[in-house]
Structure 1
């Protein structure tokens, strides 16, 4: 049998549609345990490539005959060789085109809503990294929120929709991935917005995203209102669209809350985090739809592939929103901080404009899962 490549787009659709698939991951055990392709109906076998150099006979009994088999490695090469050996044994197998490196960079657009005045709201899901970006369309104009460095995806999507990108927002200075906001702004002559308290060390010009500010998108006037919500960073600012959608950045997630320590100030910022969640967010309507900048695991995806939940539901179910005692909250946050994101200091400096790594260096800086959340359970 011949082997065939499977694209990241094809895998993304299988994830969203909750299709069954068996993944043979031939990276080393540590890499697999830290980060893998997640799917609600996927099953896995991890056998390092070097254990298969003598042949695949010993694992044949561990492979299913009734499921599609995908071989995965870091950059593609090893998975092709293993897939060829399996094909010689009569198995129908595919390999991940571009490996986990390509998976880390794939963005899948999902429509979240048609806004009441004729606009559209899209979520761009980076399944391999847990990042979530957004695009709002209205009367020939578009705004982008928390864009990743794969800027062509956003620019091409806007072209397909025949809209002009006029505004780009970063809800905060990101530390786990490189922002594409400034690059898109340069390409499209759009206005780039950043919270000023996060921009004290940046080397470029920006528009000040401040509490109470309103930006209009399109003739039909979609309001994007800024809500200062510090805690993940000192400048973190949420966006409220038409009083119906809360883009919470890295302050609030579906199953967790944001970490306050990526600038080394957890003890100082944990109070801000609590005030943003238990004060500013508590004052918002319960039926506002929360749209975060990250998700933590595949279980947070809805049936349509989106990552979203009503604020009132999160106050009932999210453990980080149910701790009434301030000391207990502070203890929960500071004692449950996950490992720091890969190369987070270099990523912060890149997003400040202080570093200019090439494309391959940027890929290496971002490899691995996102780590923006407090594991509060």
Structure 2
């Protein structure tokens, strides 16, 4: 029997960012598929649960194309290998399975250059399957990493390849949808870990307080990262201005939406803070700042280069959540449009403050599914 081909999450990402067509047969159950799937401009996907294919794939052969690559996807990879082999035996030749399944898709991180800085550059690390965005700010061979994913090898391997020394790790807020790698990476590289103090009242480890106005320099140059206190998603949420050009908004402002205020159970209390940040604090900033958020919700938010960004002034024209006529309308808009809460968000918060120490398998399970930090 011909051995079925494999495709890694990195290779699938190349299809998406390269706008190349790919047909996906997702054999997970219907609920999992509806909740979270691989998407892209030229991705076509159908869902046929694995248990419906145990007796053979003959019933779906007419739905599987012959002229373009076909990728079979399941949760961990085992079921997809079985189905891909059945397709090969029935004459479908250009068939692969996703290595590691949707768990590997959730963990892949792709570095993409955003732009140049003084004697350096700013990179966006796109966790494409989870919709998480983190950043590496580089100057003169030194780096600050912002909102690190738990897969810290993505940053260390990039840094080693480019002769970069990681000096600072910053979390813009206490994350509830994904496990932060900031503290672990700070320990690994002997760097400084920064966290907003109002989000760190229960932490069980040492950190440097990310206070408003505290300038964090990198590379021995005038390039600085300046924090601005901007509560609303969490009580400690802090925005970063980089090189007077970029605005790293964490989970406060996204390209198509805004951050939810309810993941600590304080939606009613924090709606006013969120409005103040969006309608007052950010309004005082330059409209030419480029917004770089910590998440994206839809693949349409990705540019042709694979980055997620927008000019602040443009968002005040097109983002509906920035154009509520009054406070009551804003409050209604926010509290009536909250999506389901992220998977295991309470356990993730407890892990990020150091009160839980989940195993690697437990961490993967906790993070499965899409991020749900945005109000829709």
1:25-64 equivalent positions in 2, closer than 5 A: 25-64=26-65
1:215: which partner in 2? 216
1:112: which partner in 2? 114
1:338: which partner in 2? 339
For structure 1, the 5+ residue unaligned runs are none
Instruction: Give the deviation of 1:66 after TM superposition.
Output: 2.1
For structure 2, the 5+ residue unaligned runs are none
Between the aligned partners of 1:125 and 1:83, the Cα distance in structure 2 is 28
2:291: which partner in 1? 290
Q: For 1:228-270, what per-residue CA distance to the aligned partner results, in whole angstroms no more than 9, with x for missing partners? A: 0000000000000011000000000000000000000000000
Between the aligned partners of 2:162 and 2:321, the Cα distance in structure 1 is 38
Q: For 1:279-338, what per-residue CA distance to the aligned partner results, in whole angstroms no more than 9, with x for missing partners? A: 111111111100000000100000100000100111111111111211000011011111
Q: State which of 96, 100, 106 in structure 1 corresponds to 2:102.
A: 100
Instruction: Give the deviation of 1:18 after TM superposition.
Output: 1.4
Q: Is 1:316 the equivalent of 2:325?
A: no
Q: Is 1:65 the equivalent of 2:66?
A: yes
Do 2:316 and 2:323's aligned partners in 1 also have CA atoms closer than 8 Å? yes
**TM-score w.r.t. length of structure 2:** 0.98
Q: Is 1:188 the equivalent of 2:189?
A: yes
Instruction: Give the deviation of 1:220 after TM superposition.
Output: 2.3
Between the aligned partners of 1:4 and 1:55, the Cα distance in structure 2 is 19
Between the aligned partners of 2:280 and 2:319, the Cα distance in structure 1 is 16
Q: Is 1:169 the equivalent of 2:170?
A: yes
SS of the residue corresponding to residue 156 of structure 1 reads helix
Give the number of equivalent residue pairs.
Answer: 374
Do 2:231 and 2:238's aligned partners in 1 also have CA atoms closer than 8 Å? yes
Instruction: Give the deviation of 1:153 after TM superposition.
Output: 1.0
Instruction: Give the deviation of 1:68 after TM superposition.
Output: 1.1
Give the superposed CA RMSD.
0.7
SS of the residue corresponding to residue 91 of structure 2 reads coil
1:352: which partner in 2? 353
1:132: which partner in 2? 133
1:149-164 equivalent positions in 2, closer than 5 A: 149-164=150-165
Instruction: Give the deviation of 1:118 after TM superposition.
Output: 1.8
Instruction: Give the deviation of 1:2 after TM superposition.
Output: 3.7
Instruction: Give the deviation of 1:17 after TM superposition.
Output: 1.2
Instruction: Give the deviation of 1:84 after TM superposition.
Output: 0.3
Between the aligned partners of 1:195 and 1:307, the Cα distance in structure 2 is 24
* Segments ≥4 residues shifted beyond 6 Å: none
Between the aligned partners of 1:156 and 1:21, the Cα distance in structure 2 is 28
Q: For 1:40-92, what per-residue CA distance to the aligned partner results, in whole angstroms no more than 9, with x for missing partners? A: 11111100001001100000011112221100000000000000000011212
Between the aligned partners of 1:220 and 1:172, the Cα distance in structure 2 is 26
Between the aligned partners of 1:118 and 1:276, the Cα distance in structure 2 is 32
Between the aligned partners of 2:220 and 2:207, the Cα distance in structure 1 is 24
Q: Is 1:260 the equivalent of 2:241?
A: no
Instruction: Give the deviation of 1:221 after TM superposition.
Output: 2.7
SS of the residue corresponding to residue 275 of structure 2 reads helix
Between the aligned partners of 2:39 and 2:220, the Cα distance in structure 1 is 40
Do 2:120 and 2:141's aligned partners in 1 also have CA atoms closer than 8 Å? no
SS of the residue corresponding to residue 281 of structure 1 reads helix
Between the aligned partners of 2:214 and 2:125, the Cα distance in structure 1 is 25
Instruction: Give the deviation of 1:102 after TM superposition.
Output: 0.5
Between the aligned partners of 1:324 and 1:136, the Cα distance in structure 2 is 37
1:263-278 equivalent positions in 2, closer than 5 A: 263-278=264-279
